Structure 1
Amino acid sequence: MSRLAIIPARGGSKRLPRKNIRPFLGKPIIAYSIEAALQSGLFDEVMVSTDDEEIAQVARKNGASVPFMRSEKAADDFATTAQVLEEVLGRYKDTGKEFEVACCLYPTAPFVTGKILREAYQKLEEGSFDTVFPVLRYSYPVWRSLRVEDGKASLNWPEHLHSRSQDLEPAFHDAGQFYWFGVERFLRQRRLFTDNSGAVELSELQAQDIDSETDWKLAELKYKLLHNIG
C-alpha cells in the first residue's frame, strides 16, 4: 500500500513570524515532524508543501522532499488544509504518482513520534475509518463550563450545577498534530473530520498549541519534561 506524508508549511505566519522553521530547542521545529515521519517507517515519501524557498531548503536538509512549490492560491490566508492536500495529491497524479493513504502532519508538532503515527495508522486500517487523528482530554469538565456576558457569569449546562466531576462524561479536543486519511475517501468528501473519524488519545505532555510566545515556551518546557532534558 502506497503511503504519503504531507507536511504543509507555508511561509506566512502572522502571530509567530517564520514559525515553521524557528529553532525549537536547537533545531528548526519542522525538523521534528520530518524526523517522526521518516522514523515511523510507514511512508513511501515524506514531502513538504510550501511556497517559501527557505522552508524548502530546510525541509530538504532534514530529509524531506519538495517536488514542487505550493501555488499562491493554496498559500494565502484563506486556503484550508483540505485545499492544500487536494493540490498536493493532484500534482502527484499529474506526474503519474498516486497514493492510497496519506497523513497530513503539521510542521509545528514536535511531540509527534513514529510510535504515535504507527498507532494511529493501525487504527485507520483496523477500524475502516475515513480519518484518524490525535485528541486531548479536557482537564476540566466542559459540562461545568461558564459563559460571561456583560460581566455576568452563567452555566452553559445549568443541569450539571451539582454534578460531581467524576460522574460527567469526558470531553476531548483535536490535538492539531496530524490526520491520517484514505486518499480516495478524502478526495470524495474533502474533509478531515467526518462522521466516521477515529481518534487516539494523548496525554497533556504530548501536545501543545503553538500560537504565541507563551505557547512556544510551554511547548519547550513540556518537551524537556517528556524527554528528561535538563
Structure 2
Amino acid sequence: MRSLAIIPARGNSKGLPGKNIREIAGKPLIAWSIEQALESSFVTDTLVSTDSPEIADVARASGALVPFLRPSHLASDTAATEPVMLHALAEMERNRGAYDLILLLQPTSPYRTSGTIDRAFEKFVETGADSLLSVVESHAFLWQRDPVRASYDYCNRPRRQDIKPEDRRYRETGSLYLTKRQVLVEQENRLGGEIMLFEMNEKEGLEIDSLTDFVVLESIMKEALNQ
C-alpha cells in the first residue's frame, strides 16, 4: 500500500500567531509531526500543505515535501480540512501516482509516542476499517443549556471505576486520522464507511489552541525527552 501523510499548516493562525513554526521543546512545532511521519514504516510520502512560504521553508528543512503552496481560498478562517486534503492528494498524485491510504496529522498535536503512527496503521489494516480516528477516553460530565440537561444521570452519579466498557465515552483528539483514498474522494470526508477508534494515552490527546496549551504541552514533552 502507498500512503500519503498530509500535515496541514495555515500561516495566519488567529489564536496563537505563528504557532506552527513556534519552537516547542527545541524544535518548530510542525517539525515534530513531520519527523514522526518520516519515521513511520508505513508512510510513503510526507507532505505539508501550507499557504505560507515561511512554513514551507521550515517544513522542507525538517524533511517534508512542499511542492506547492496552498491556494488562498483553502487558507481562509472558514476553509474546511477535507478540501485541503483533496487538493493535496490531487496535486501529489499528478506527479507521484495513486495512493491507497491518507494519513492526516494535525501539527497542533505534536506529542505522539514512538510507534504510535505505526500502531494506528497496523490496527487499520488488521480490522479492515475504512477510516480511523485517534481518541482518548473521556470522563467528563457534560451539560447543555436551554433546556439545561446533563449527558448522564446526575441523581446516580457514576464513579469512573464503575462505568461499564460499553458505556465508556471517547473524545476525538484531532491528532491523527487514517482514511482509504476511495472514502476521502467519494465522500469528501476523512471519516466514512467502517470507522475505527484508535485510543491514545491522555498526554497524546493534548492539542494546542492557546498559549496555555503550548506551555503545558511543552513541559510534558521536555519531561518525556529527559526520561
Query: Given the two structures, how large is their TM-score scaled by the length of structure 2?
Result: 0.90
Which is further off, 161-170 or 2-11? 161-170
Query: Gapped runs of 5+ residues in structure 1?
Result: none
What is the aligned partner in structure 1 of residue 203 from structure 2? 205
Identity %: 34
Aligned to 1:190, which of 184, 188, 191?
Answer: 188
How do 1:111-190 and structure 2 match up within 5 A? 111-140=111-140, 142=141, 145-147=142-144, 155-157=149-151, 159-165=153-159, 166-168=161-163, 169-190=167-188
Give the Cα separation in 1 of the matches to 2:144 and 2:65.
Answer: 46
Residue 161 of structure 1 aligns to a residue in which SS?
helix
Give the Cα separation in 2 of the matches to 1:154 and 1:68.
Answer: 49
What is the aligned partner in structure 2 of residue 99 from structure 1? 99
Letter in 2 for 1:136: V
Query: Gapped runs of 5+ residues in structure 2?
Result: none
Give the Cα separation in 2 of the matches to 1:81 and 1:113.
Answer: 24
1:52 matched to 2:47: no
1:19 matched to 2:16: no
Once the 2 structures are TM-superposed, how far is the Cα of residue 30 of structure 1 from its aligned partner?
Answer: 0.5
Q: After the TM superposition, which segments of 4 or more aligned residues of structure 1 sit over 6 Å from their partners?
A: none
1:86 matched to 2:80: no
Give the Cα separation in 2 of the matches to 1:180 and 1:157.
Answer: 29
Give the Cα separation in 1 of the matches to 2:74 and 2:143.
Answer: 38
Residue 171 of structure 2 aligns to a residue in which SS?
strand
1:123 to 1:209, Cα distance in 2 relative to 1, 3 A = same
What is the aligned partner in structure 1 of residue 214 from structure 2? 216
1:29 matched to 2:29: yes
Residue 68 of structure 1 aligns to a residue in which SS?
coil
Residue 112 of structure 2 aligns to a residue in which SS?
coil
Q: CA-to-partner distance for each residue in 1:161-204, whole Å, 9 max, x for gaps? A: 21432333221111111111111121111112335211111221
Give the Cα separation in 2 of the matches to 1:129 and 1:57.
Answer: 35
Backbone CA RMSD of aligned residues: 2.0
Letter in 1 for 2:75: A
Conserved 8 A contact 1:40-1:113: no
Letter in 1 for 2:101: V
